[in-house]
Structure 1
Amino acid sequence: MKRNYWFAAVITVVISLSTGCVEVTESPLLSSLLTSTTTASALDESTVASGLKEALRVGSERAVSLTSAEDGFLGNSLIRIAMPESLQKVSTTLRSVGMDSYVDEFEVAMNRAAESASGEAKGVFWEAITSMTLTDAMGVLQGDDTAATDYFREKTSTQLSEKFKPIVQDKMAEVGVYGYYTTLVNAYNALPFTSKPQFDLEQYIVDEAQDGVFTMLATEEVKIRRDPAKRTTELLKTVFAAQD
């Protein structure tokens, strides 16, 4: 409620500054909002838009840095890639007969492939930020705690998938995902009364890698909006200060 109130006030300030129709001194709220920033013109439209783009850059850089590091997926319970649902029967059956290592090695390899691919998200995100319009920026500002992440999902999902796929394929070969998967399935098929599962392994890892990056981006966005300590530049402090 407080955030929505502030958003409405920001828009009022923007209109006031651009039209000259309202005296700041007539509104204690407008006066306090303006004096809480570096200068009286700090919340004009261009500053707000620049601040939002800065927040997107900072948040996306943090998210990509976290996910692309070793154990960025594997060591993070929020985004760790687990055995896909279509292979759960395979996993359960193999573990029940003491073949845990087949399952564990396959899961580790999937996560390593995602960690490698996620580094490519940074360039895609930055292209989306560069092309962001003032209308886009104001829409993100007035949205909820993950409005920027939702904007990125809409604008970059297709491109991210295209970027991720060849990297996932290369990394799957490098870390042995295909080999682990073949071993896993062959071990399962060797058991009586089982049948080979039908599954698009590459697309599963691509989708999970993409979802993981967006999950961490949402986490970073919430921090920037709510935690002043996470606003690491003067521009971020200026634009977001009034919502505290």
Structure 2
Amino acid sequence: MKKSLLICCALLTFSTGCETAQQVLNNLPASTTGGVNTTQIAAGLKEALTIGTQNSANRLSAVNGFFANAALKILMPPQAQKVESTLRNVGLGSVVDKAILSMNRGAEEAAKSATPIFVNAIKQMSITDAIGILRGGDFAATNYFKEKTTAALTSAFQPVITSSLKKVDATKYWGDVFTVYNRFSKEPVNTDLSAYVTQRAIDGIFHEVSLEEQKIRKDPAARVTDLLKTVFGSPLAQKN
């Protein structure tokens, strides 16, 4: 019975044409649904995902959103650390620092374009997507966004990041140094700095989205509107 209720809820959440499921849920007693109607259920789940992705993008697009976040700060890749140390030892530390700052500033600027991409993915959720998210575990929504938005985020992020890196000649510097380095290394470094930073920026966005998803699912204090409190505090929302 619990599983049937959950499937019906998912069908209703992102579809207006599922008359059979609509009739089943409408006929359930108020004690089963917690008094929450189908319109509230649909709106509440969509609102939760929208708020979560907006919060993530807003944090990371602020100045120092990446640069001052120890978990997300974009640094030289591990295989390039020997080269970085060498450059610092010969007095080129300021050049490396400028490149690192530029990488993070580019990621912060690019993050501003994330929200509309996530919102569009929410609008396009199918019935199957909704069922998967509701039944798929703690990170089901994050995994959905990874599948549906990575290509669009890459297209939106990379030009912004490339522009930021060019301001301090970071792209040229990276390419020149690591093209030579790769001739002698068994662990070659990707000479496409823009691609590297873009991937790190996208990883950072999804990391923040996953944190927001956990808050909405598990922390009542994160349900910042009356609608979220009503829907996610109902007995129906607690059934797994």
Range class of TM-score, shorter chain: 0.7 to 0.9
Matched, 1:94 2:74: no
2:210 counterpart of 1:215: no
Partner of 1:61: 54
**Contact residue 74 and residue 103 of structure 2 kept, 8 A:** yes
Shifted more, 58-67 versus 162-171: the winner is 162-171
One-letter amino acid of the counterpart of residue 150, structure 2: S
Separation in 1, partners of 2:125, 2:87: 49
- 51, 69, 83: which one pairs with 2:76? 83
Instruction: Answer yes or no: is 1:18 the counterpart of 2:27.
Output: no
One-letter code of the match for 1:19?
V
Matched, 1:154 2:153: no
Q: Mean alpha-carbon deviation: is it higher for 48-57 or for 67-76?
A: 48-57
AA of the residue aligned to 1:232: V
In structure 1, which of residues 108, 112, 115 is the aligned counterpart of residue 105 of structure 2?
Answer: 112
Aligned partners of 1:118 and 1:213 also within 8 Å: yes
* Match for residue 138 of structure 2 among 129, 132, 145: 145
Residue identity matched to 2:6: I
SS at match of 2:125: coil
Out of 22, 42, 53, which is 1:49 matched to? 42
> What SS does the aligned partner of 1:140 have?
helix
Q: State how far apart, in whole Å, the 1-side matches of 2:150 and 2:28 are.
A: 44
Partner of residue 226 from structure 1, selected from 205, 208, 218 = 218
Residue of structure 1 in register with 2:15 after alignment: none
**What is the CA-CA distance between 1:154 and the residue it aligns to?**
0.5
User: Which consecutive unaligned segments of at least 5 residues does structure 2 have?
Assistant: 10-19
- Distance in 1 separating the partners of 2:198 and 2:56: 17
Which letter maps to 1:133?
S
What amino acid is aligned across from residue 119 of structure 2 in structure 1?
Answer: W
Whichever residue aligns with residue 61 of structure 2, its letter is S
Q: Secondary structure at the match of 2:68?
A: coil
The answer to whether the 8 A contact 1:90-1:185 is kept is no
Which position in structure 2 is the counterpart of 1:238?
230
- Asked whether the equivalents of residues 94 and 188 of structure 1 are also in contact (C-alpha less than 8 Å), the reply is no
Cα pair 2:8 2:25 within 8 Å, conserved: no
Query: Once the two structures are aligned, what percentage of the paired residues are identical?
Result: 37
Structure 1 residues 98 and 59: alpha-carbon distance in aligned structure 2, compared to 1, 3 A threshold: same
Contact 1:102 1:183 in 2 (8 A): no
Cα distance per residue 1:17-71 (max 9 Å; x no partner): 73379874xxxxx83x534xxxx3x153x54332221111000100000010000
CA deviations on 1:185-231 (whole Å, 9 max, x unpaired) are 778999xx988965110101111111111111111111111111111
- Whichever residue aligns with residue 139 of structure 1, its letter is G
Query: Is the Cα contact below 8 Å between 1:66 and 1:72 reproduced in 2?
Result: yes
Measure the CA separation in 2 of the matches of 1:47 and 1:138. 17
**Structure 1 residues 231 and 9 mapped into 2: Cα distance closer, same or farther (>3 Å)?**
farther
Q: 1:122 aligns with which of 108, 115, 130?
A: 115
Shift, 1:144, TM fit: 1.5
Distance 1:188 1:20, change over 3 A: closer
Output the CA distance in 2 between the equivalents of 1:136 and 1:198. 35
Compare 229-238 and 122-131 and name the one that shifted more.
Answer: 229-238
Q: Which runs of 5+ in 1 are unaligned?
A: 25-29
Offset of residue 183 of structure 1: 5.1
- Residue number in structure 2 paired with 1:131: 124
The alignment's C-alpha RMSD in Å is 3.4
How many pairs align? Answer: 223
